[in-house]
Structure 1
Amino acid sequence: MPPGITTLAADTPTLSAANTGFMLICSALVMLMTPALAFFYGGMVRVKSTLNMLMMSFISLGIVTILWVLYGFSLAFGTDSGSIIGWSSDYVGLSGIGITQLWDGYTIPVYVFAVFQLMFAIITPALISGALADRVKFTAWALFIALWVTVVYFPVAHWVWGTGGWLFEMGVIDFAGGTAVHINAGAAALGVILVIGKRVGFKKDPMRPHSLPLVMLGAGLLWFGWFGFNAGSWLGNDDGVGAVMFLNTQVATAAAMCAWLAYEKIRHGAFTTLGAASGAVAGLVAITPAGGSCSPLGAIAIGAVAGLLCAMAVGLKYTFGYDDSLDVVGVHLVGGVVGSLLVGFFATGGVQSEAKGLFYGGGLEQLGKQATGVFAVLAYSLIVSALLAFIVDKVMGMRVSEDDEVLGIDQVEHAETAYDFSGAGGGGSRKTLTEALPAAENKKVDA
């Protein structure tokens, strides 16, 4: 997110139809990323958990939207209080905002900025859900989302992007959410799974993705939507910074995918579709904080490093025994940390700001700022998320029973199944089809 811009009275911004339209399109692209994430996660789980995985993302669209309007936008982007949280009564219920009132220092309406940021708030808790596949009560998850965005996401968004927020004022660079979104979600995922425990059969039963085409579809839509997520975070399209971010998003994602696949081939002997999809997401995550401060060559390096390290990190759950079902920790936490820290090496000082990284003569100053942001958000989210999960678990129970988990959470929580094959074969019964097969074989022999 760009730093605040101070303007003289003679240079007071006026509403730009072009930038407003651009940001509305970007907002729609970011909204698309939540259903895309649902497809991505839904294909990675077993059949019996597909619908639950989809619903854990979709419910975020409902709950977070309402809370954002009621008080979330005010907490995240209202007038600063102590560099920790914001609050503006005009933003409560979004009721005191004029339809052409501009976001301070920019040429887009406050409403447009609010809806763009809303989409970030929606997808962040949805990212957490991938770590909890197969075993969390839907009502408990809904309550956790409401508590988590209130206590964790809204304050952290203010720290990182809100004028007066302590990380913002320190000069931590997070163009589009490496800390506020990905490290935040990844650390939260780790905190929750340490509380709720492992799936039944973890390390024993095969838990392979049931639909890799669905995974690839979700990854492709995420890649597409991420251009709005990243390029839109400059809040306009007047000076070319958003274009650099757009290009760097593509470049880093490509590099990460190739690096992940190369690691897979060397380590496991095959190029997998799951690896291609996961590598692409790792690159998208890593370039999110860094793409507005580096060159395209720097984006290649950031993507390649992220692809390699995230591919290595997904196996840590077997080493340390935490059940991160769909590798949220390995991809989003590790990718977010890598991208955020590498700003301190690859920032050129010639794109979004004058801050330079170590490789461009800036010394260790920016790296120190980045490390402060990374570990502050990681620690806060990890600890508070674990505490919230503990409270929800004690109040209503966070997990389904072991029997329900084995039966399948889709049936238990949603009374549905993802696929219905009862009508296969044109309505013919199983008996009729079985009887028909020998006759067909006899005809082939006669022929």
Structure 2
Amino acid sequence: MSKAALSATDRMEAAVTEGLLRTEKPALADWMEFFKTVRVHVYIRFGLWDELKQLRPLEDGRLYCVTNVMRHYGRDIAHAATGKVDEADAERALFRRAARLVPPERLDFPNRIRDILLVAAAMLDGEIEYRRGNYAESFGRLRDAVALEDELPFAEPWGWMLPARHAYAALSLEQGDVEQAAVAYAEDLGLRPTPKRANQHPNNVWALHGYHECLVRLGRDAEASIIKRQLTLAAAEADVDVTSSTTTTTTTTPLELRQHWLHRREVALLDVREKGPYAESHPFFALDATRYVEYHAMTIPGSRSCPGGELLYRLFDAAPDPATTVIVLTSPDGAVSSANVEHASQAIAGSSSVRQVLHLIGGTAAWKAAGHALDAEPKWLSEPIDVYKRPYEGTGNAEKDMQGYIDWEHGLVAQVANDGVACSRVSTSCVSRRHRVG
């Protein structure tokens, strides 16, 4: 994620040359110079504060007016994030001075750069005042940033690259205003309406992390479980540890993958990062508790597919060797395996051949996120049976059986029409109400 963003930024900057920007007919600087500012947003997104502080204004302030004002913005955020409030104040003054040099014709089409800088100014005020402890003023300005961002016309790339809701929500959560944070995260994820759909970012790992934490703290466990699955999958694609929706919070949220053992009664939960040293001293056998199709798509090397009801009665078949002291259960996001680990432990109670049944926290997605390889060749304990096949597939007489299937469907439609009843929509009313066909 960070590597891809930095690589793309390098290539983009290489393409937008000084010679290109000096083209006067048409005036390409007015249309393209803003591409030089993307590096600032990337550095902020990944908390690269030292790199931001090293950015300096470019010499030709007229040609690079947008680049320079955004470099002041980035340096300002870096100072604020690292607690250097006085330095942030000084940089904010330079930002305001540089903003006055940006002409009205400079664009991130169709947005005017001057309008985009209004979002930046509100963000700076909010971040700096937050460090001063002026929370009412800080959150007021962050709300301004959200509103100003929502007013920007749709553009690709976005007129404002880092959603203002991320900072607003993360700092709200840090101050204990969990409901306020949850609303902002839900809006960013598209789970609540926003003035512009373009400002919704479904399944982004930053907001998923914050929203999941909000739901857990609010006791909304069912929703938290759903979001957790999405978060696990999104985190598997990341090359950085995401601990908050913004890198400018002043405290550290515990990582999802903790480097220690947790215990619940007799059932141990195995952290993916402890897999190595534990496996060296305790031979283990991995079972995947999910359906065949899911197992086939994402497999831990050496694991065996053992879905659903097969899990309990195949435990001993899976690990007949008495030297195997541990069975590790996994599933794509860890939910299915964690739900079955206690039942599996009870099934082997009293056995001398297996010492423990564990499950992998975060499941196979967490395994991948931790940098471990996946297996391209799945291994089955029994023949896969839950792959859907049409009634005429694999029968040896496909044409005849397909015609029989079509005739059956035609007959089903005629039967529904004859009965005169059908359910026209999926809702609770389907249970009690009937609607005439036609």
Computing the radius of gyration from Cα coordinates, the structure with the larger value is 2
Greater strand proportion: 2
Q: Same fold (TM over 0.5)?
A: no
**TM-score, normalised via structure 2 length:** 0.22
Flag the structure with higher helix content: 1
Q: Structure 1 length normalisation: TM-score?
A: 0.22
